[in-house]
Amino acid sequence: MAHMAAGQTTDSTLLDSLPRKSNFRFGFLYEFGLNTTATLLPEMRSFFRANQIKPLALSAGTVNLNFGVRINRIKVMVQSQSSFFSRTVSTNNWVQKNGINSQGILVGYDVLNSFNKRVFIYVGLGGAEYNLSLYRKGVQQIPFQSVLQTPPSAGSVPSLALRNVGFAEVALEFSQREKRKASAYTATRIGYRTGMVKKAWESDVYTFTNPIKDRFSQFYVQFIFAYSLNGNRFVPFSRKPFR
């Protein structure tokens, strides 16, 4: 689609100038991210394999909501990640469902700062909870009204969880530069988070006497749609209309 600015049909002169790099000192940022993740839980996967159960695929989709501030070239983001849905995998009559929730804080610095793009390097800390349930498919016929009284089939573990997993995180972000006081932009963030200590698997149903321990770690690629409010003073935004 052709765009012709007012007056552009007249001859271009040497007074014409290209826009300068935007230089808003502050910004409030709101981000919505869709993630492809690969979550590594090596001990639980070994346990499954030892019991002839094919473990869950590593990859899963999750969604992120992030908000934060940018002060010159530094960004501080609070992030919250949740599973899209409880993933289900059925192999060899075993069904596995999982879900993950995490919250954290990221601090980033833009190592590349160009007319159109910013590249941030982040470090962060956070906490995560990973839930897993496991059961065997069956064909036993029971009246629905007695389902609560029927014991589950052997091997069913309705609740397995890694809780209070503290993790450290590093990430690299390729982001569009904000161009206006109110800017929408896209970004891509690639990150890795790893549990700081091994955590024991827990259950809401049982109290394990000798639980296996896992070190949670996760790779992710996050595609971000974002909105930012930018200015040169920290709280000037309500006083002037946005352009």
Partner 1 sequence: MKAMLILLSLMVSIGWRAEEQPRSEVAKVVIYRQREFDGGGYDLKLNGKLLGYLPQNRFLKVTIPTGRVKIESEGAYLSDVKMVFFTAEQGQTYYIKAVEDIDFMTRALLMARVSEEQAKRELSRIKPMETAQTDQNHD
| Contacts to partner 1 by CB under 8 A | 1-4, 8-14, 16-19, 112, 114-117, 119, 174, 176-177, 179, 183-186
- Overall residue count recorded for the chain in this entry: 243
Tokens 């012709």 belong to which residue? 4
Q: Using CA atoms, how far apart are residues 203 and 120, in angstroms rounded to an integer?
A: 39
Query: In the bound complex, what is the minimum distance in angstroms from residue 91's beta carbon to partner 1?
Result: 40
How far separated are the first and last CA of the chain, in Å rounded?
23
CB of residue 30 vs partner 1: minimum separation in angstroms? 14
What's the min distance (Å) between Cβ of 19 and partner 1?
7
CB neighbourhood size of 77 (10 A): 23
> Which pair of tokens denotes residue 80?
């919250």
Judged by beta carbon, residue 16 or residue 151, the one nearer partner 1 is 16
Please, what is the minimum distance in Å from the beta carbon of residue 97 to partner 1? Answer: 36
Give least dist CB 3 to partner 1, A: 5
User: CB of 120 within 8 A of CB of 100?
Assistant: no
Nearer to partner 1, 21 or 49 (CB): 21
Phi and psi angles of residue 206, each rounded to the nearest 5 degrees, phi first: -120, 160
- Select 1 or 148, whichever has its Cβ closest to partner 1: 1
Say which amino acid occupies 94: W
Closest Cα partner for 179 from 233, 115, 108, 136? 115
Judged by beta carbon, residue 72 or residue 186, the one nearer partner 1 is: 186
* Contact partners, residue 18, CB within 8 Å, separation at least 6: none
Name the residue nearer to partner 1 (CB basis): 117 or 215. Answer: 117
